[in-house]
Structure 1
Amino acid sequence: MRKIIVAFVCFFISSVFAESNLDESAFTKRYVKAVTTKPEVTSAQIKGRLEVEMTYSGGGTSTAYLDNAYMNYLSEPEKLDVIIEAYISALTRNSSDAKANIDKANIFPVIKDSGYINHITELMSEGGEGELPFFYEKLNDVLYILYAIDTPSSIKFMPKEDIANLDVKEEELRDLSMSNLMNAIESLQIKGDPSTISMVVADGTYEASFLIYDALWTKETFPVKGDIVVYVPSRDVIIVTGSKDTDSLETVKGIVHNPENQWAHAVTNVGFIRKENKWVKFHH
């Protein structure tokens, strides 16, 4: 099982690049330098591997995921500036598209950690703003749920006014967004051995969001030893094991906390245990 999980992880974190090409970090910095020249972008922060968060002059934010842009660059490195400019233009268009496509059916849940919320709070304070530009709610002491309009190149988090304009009650958002996500993905699968170590696999983007799909988290689905424990190191990775399965826990922790594993679109390396139909920080 360890070989299966490690192989799966390596799919996310390993690549071989020509020495003459920019590595992922340098490419991301080049993108940040270019995007901050745009008048509508007030700041751009690198949030993770090939992940950049922009703050706009109007107060909104969006996140650009540069995986596809970087792959295009590796295919045609001589077109570096052209590729970056094309993706920046697409981001600008999609930001407008997100506003045009604000609809109840397009709301999706996104899981972030407290570090992300604190970072955005600091940015807003530095800019003289008193409140965060989007609506969020706590899942527990570590994790938060944000609600977003998804576009091909970015995820635009929804401010309270957009939610109010749709006449959606805030207490309805969780069920509504989860229903939208279930309708949007082609399949939800459990890979590995559900009784020891397994992974939740959906669309490669919203796996972490399935933490709020309560019907999934039963001992019938995951007949592990003890209570269900999950780790969500990345937005597209949920690893599941049992609180009393010592060997499996050590295997999972070894993967999640391995400093060589640079998780794309990181969430947190903290584990969570299922107690009374809620996720609580796991102390082991």
Structure 2
Amino acid sequence: MHVTSTTFLPLLARAEDDPYGDPAAPVLDEFAAELAVAYSFGPPYGQRFVSWLDLDRLGLSRRVLKSRATENLGTMVGSVRVHGESPTLMLSFDGIESSLLLVDLLWQQLAGSVQGELVVGVPARDVVVVTGSQSSQGLDKARRAVERVFFAGDQHLLTQQLLVRRDGGWEIFKP
């Protein structure tokens, strides 16, 4: 595989219990709650994560992988669509909506469209529900959306926790 023809994208994934020591395990970076950032080969993205063996084979460092994936995500952000209206918004991004949690500029732009702090439900790779910390109706809708996705059993489930945007990062939302 030629490195210059390989593109990567960061995707949210469930954090493994202890992937360290297994060279076939995906490269994971800590994120929030039980989530981690994995790196996908693509396009199409999300079918295969970059493993430690892949990094060795490609002659890439973890830092370069993260940098290239983040840069690639930045070039794709123009295709993001926001649906709905306050108090609850949904994002569309080609089945990899959860990757958008890694795009700071998007959250800076969305901050003014909710009441209070930004709160998201990200129950699966392809679902992001956005509301504000001061909207009880929005929080209820977000919780119900998360419950529905988990009940339906989406292929790429992530977390039942709501996350809040604070100081340029995400953490578990505790009302």
- Does the pair score TM above 0.5? yes
- What TM-score comes out, normalization by structure 1 length? 0.53
Q: Per the alignment, do residues 174 and 196 of structure 1 end up closer, same or farther by CA in structure 2, a change over 3 Å counting?
A: farther
Which structure carries more relative contact order (alpha carbon 8 Å, separation 6+)? 2
Per-residue deviation at 1:273? Answer: 0.3
Letter in 1 for 2:133: S
Aligned pair 1:159/2:51, yes or no? yes
Over the aligned positions, Cα root-mean-square deviation in angstroms equals: 2.7
Decide whether the 8 Å contact of 1:102 with 1:162 is kept in 2: no
Per-residue deviation at 1:172? Answer: 3.9
Quote the Cα distance in structure 2 between the aligned partners of 1:165 and 1:189.
Answer: 36
- What TM-score comes out, normalization by structure 2 length? 0.82
Per-residue deviation at 1:261? Answer: 3.2
Aligned pair 1:210/2:111, yes or no? no
Letter in 1 for 2:34: V
Letter in 2 for 1:200: L
Quote the Cα distance in structure 2 between the aligned partners of 1:224 and 1:102.
Answer: 41
Unpaired runs of 5+ residues, structure 1, are: 1-99, 125-129
Aligned pair 1:243/2:144, yes or no? no
Per-residue deviation at 1:105? Answer: 4.4
Aligned pair 1:274/2:175, yes or no? no
Per-residue deviation at 1:196? Answer: 1.6
Quote the Cα distance in structure 2 between the aligned partners of 1:136 and 1:175.
Answer: 14
Residue 156 of structure 2 is matched in structure 1 by 265
Letter in 1 for 2:80: L
Decide whether the 8 Å contact of 2:10 with 2:40 is kept in 1: yes
Quote the Cα distance in structure 2 between the aligned partners of 1:277 and 1:185.
Answer: 18
Letter in 2 for 1:262: G
Per-residue deviation at 1:167? Answer: 4.8
Quote the Cα distance in structure 2 between the aligned partners of 1:153 and 1:137.
Answer: 18
Q: Per the alignment, do residues 155 and 235 of structure 1 end up closer, same or farther by CA in structure 2, a change over 3 Å counting?
A: same
Between structure 1 and structure 2, the one with the greater Rg is 1
* Structure 2 SS opposite 1:192: strand
User: If each structure's helix is expressed as a fraction of its own residues, which one has the higher value?
Assistant: 1
Letter in 2 for 1:147: Y
Quote the sequence identity (%): 25
Residue 149 of structure 1 is matched in structure 2 by 41
Aligned pair 1:108/2:9, yes or no? yes
1:12-31 equivalent positions in 2, closer than 5 A: none
Unpaired runs of 5+ residues, structure 2, are: none
CA offsets 1:43-79 (integer angstroms, 9 cap, x no match) = xxxxxxxxxxxxxxxxxxxxxxxxxxxxxxxxxxxxx
Aligned pair 1:221/2:117, yes or no? no
Per-residue deviation at 1:207? Answer: 0.9
Quote the Cα distance in structure 2 between the aligned partners of 1:152 and 1:274.
Answer: 29
Per-residue deviation at 1:169? Answer: 3.6
